[in-house]
Amino acid sequence: MNEDKMEKVFQDPVQLSKGINLRELMTSATEFHIDMDFKKKQSEMCLNMDEDLYPDLDDGEDSDVEDVLKNIEDSTDKLMLASPEYLSFSELSAKMVDCVPSGDVKILILEEGDGPLVPVDAEVTLHYAAYWEKTKIPFDSTLTMNSGAPMTIRLGAGRILPGLEVGLTTVHGPTARFHLLLQPAAAWGPRGAPPRVRPEPALFIISLYSVRDMYATARFNDLPMEEQRKFEVTVKIVDALHSQAKDIFAKKKYKKAIRNYQQSMSVLGLSQPKNEAEEQQIKKLKIIVYVNLAICYYKINKPKYTLIMCENLDRISDLDKHCKALYYYGKAHQMLGKNEDALIYYKRALKLEPKNKEIGKTLAELDDYLKRSAVKEKEMWQNALGSAPVEKKEKVYNVDEDFQNGVRDMCQDLAGRNEYSKFDLPTGMTKDEVDCIKSLASDFEGLVVLEDGEGKRKKVSIVKKMA
């Protein structure tokens, strides 16, 4: 190779394909083999990296490319990740605040999240879209990754840009929407990552969906006792434990969820609230723990522990005020074979939430089971005593089906009323019609049929009596 070509090749640093063992370099002869086409290959790799950003755009006609770009733009609009292209970065930064003294990371909060600040080692789920100044299509976005689903990222592991980590730990979670303006120093570095990433400021539009504080308990255990007893520390740790327990419960890992709730109760037991408002908040959190522990113990077939949790709840609050606790108190009794007791608690729960379909269905199924069991028990005793049951024959009345349905609907309406009611039937009804009305009315509690007179002048009324 001539010197001019050699000089041209080594104008830029050369990256070795394999690392050097320092001991071998000092103790033995070492040879270096340089592929003179490495510049060309490196260039091809850069091009490939550029093409991977939106793989759907690699092939096809211009119209296909436009369709894909339009879909990306529509997606950013739909998920509120669109770029404010009407503002220059200098105009936008005037509305933002610094996250760091250098001004390399600026933030504009669009929707403040609920909860505490995002911990530095949290696991967050989010969508983001990154834009160059005054552009409509993001050059980087989670919308083109993970099949379009939000991305879950562990903070503090060095897997995302430093400026993103700074910005995410400046907001409150688990939900928030905000803009981050990152200077190159807080993103890909002052040189960028050519050719895809320019050495320019980038705007990140971020929607934060969830935050999981994975190491809350470890941080709590490292605190001195005085700190552990503070109300604000209690609430923060308990919220984190409950969030984890909720996710674990959804995966049907009930024993792990129980451990989280037990840790939560230990933290609550240490807390020293300073006023009535803080005491009420601690009480509220304890109620949540007892109810959720009751459910978890029921899920792992430990009804006695479910009863204990509900009884503990009743010591700090009236059990009859908590529908879910009453329902699972009934479930535990039913699991133990105490069906009559279960029926009582189901009815109390339904009284708190009359429109709750799950409770209504459970109550109806148990009520039907008890009725069928009573019939079977009666038959058993009749067989044991040698007496055959008297077969009840259903009487057939000479009336049409529409008449029966009309009377049944009317009786149902009257039975559902809370006050005394009386419905006068028309005169001139046949004996079969009157007998049919009496039979149908007897199926409804509180209804009686009154008769006055004889023959065609007989007056018949259905009355809803009050207990």
Res. 385 pLDDT band, cuts 50 70 90: low
Report the pLDDT averaged over residues 366-382: 74
119 pLDDT higher than 60:
yes
- The answer to whether the bond into 389 is cis (omega within 30° of 0) is no
The partner residues of 416 in beta bridges, in order of sequence, read: none
Percent over 90 (pLDDT), the chain: 39
Q: Encode pLDDT of 231-279 as tens digits.
A: 999 998 898 899 889 888 999 999 999 999 999 999 999 999 999 999 9
Report the pLDDT averaged over residues 200-211: 93
Superfamily of domain 217-376: Tetratricopeptide repeat domain (1.25.40.10)
Q: Indicate the Cα dihedral angle 243, 244, 247, 249, nearest 10°.
A: -110
* Amino acid making up residue 367: D
Q: Encode pLDDT of 423-451 as tens digits.
A: 888 877 888 888 888 888 888 888 888 88
409 pLDDT higher than 60:
yes
Res. 306 pLDDT band, cuts 50 70 90: very high
Least confident of 166-170, 180-184, 238-242, 383-387: 383-387
Q: Which two tokens stand for residue 128?
A: 């983001």
Q: Where are the domains of the chain?
A: 3-51, 64-214, 217-376, 401-464
pTM for the structure as a whole: 0.52
363 pLDDT higher than 50:
yes
Start-to-end CA distance of the chain, whole Å, equals 112
Give CA 378 to chain center in angstroms: 48
Instruction: For residue 17, count other CB atoms closer than 10 A to its CB.
Output: 9
Residue among 262, 371, 241 nearest 312 (CA): 262
Res. 18 pLDDT band, cuts 50 70 90: low
d(CA 116, CA 22): 49
What is the Cα gyration radius of the chain?
37
Residues 6+ apart with CB under 8 A from 112: 171, 172, 176
User: Angle at Cα 231 formed by Cα 225 and Cα 237, nearest 5°?
Assistant: 80
pLDDT score for 452? 81
Residues 6+ apart with CB under 8 A from 23: none
Residues 6+ apart with CB under 8 A from 152: 123, 124, 125
The partner residues of 211 in beta bridges, in order of sequence, read: 124
pLDDT score for 158? 86
Instruction: Quote the DSSP letter at residue 183.
Output: -
Res. 26 pLDDT band, cuts 50 70 90: very low
User: Angle at Cα 245 formed by Cα 225 and Cα 251, nearest 5°?
Assistant: 155
Tell me the C-alpha to C-alpha distance, in Å, between residue 47 and each of 2, 52, 196, 439. 29, 9, 9, 88
Least confident of 206-220, 247-261, 314-328: 206-220
pLDDT score for 395? 65
Report the pLDDT averaged over residues 107-112: 92
- Are 142 and 126 spatial neighbours (Cβ–Cβ below 8 Å)? yes
Question: What's the CATH architecture for 64-214?
Answer: Roll (3.10)
3-state secondary structure of 25: helix
Phi-psi region of 242 (alpha: psi -120 to 50; beta: other; left: phi over 0): alpha
Looking at 1.10.3210.50, 3.40.50.300, 3.40.190.10, 3.30.1370.50, the CATH number of the domain 401-464 comes to: 3.30.1370.50
Q: Which two tokens stand for residue 301?
A: 């077939």
Strands 123-131 and 151-154: antiparallel
Q: What are phi and psi of 298, to 5 degrees?
A: -65, -40
Res. 146 pLDDT band, cuts 50 70 90: confident
- Residues 443, 440, 351, 375, CA torsion sign: positive
- Are 138 and 131 spatial neighbours (Cβ–Cβ below 8 Å)? yes
pLDDT score for 444? 83
Which parts of 193-322 fold into alpha helices (H)?
A: 216-222, 225-228, 231-250, 254-270, 276-299, 303-316
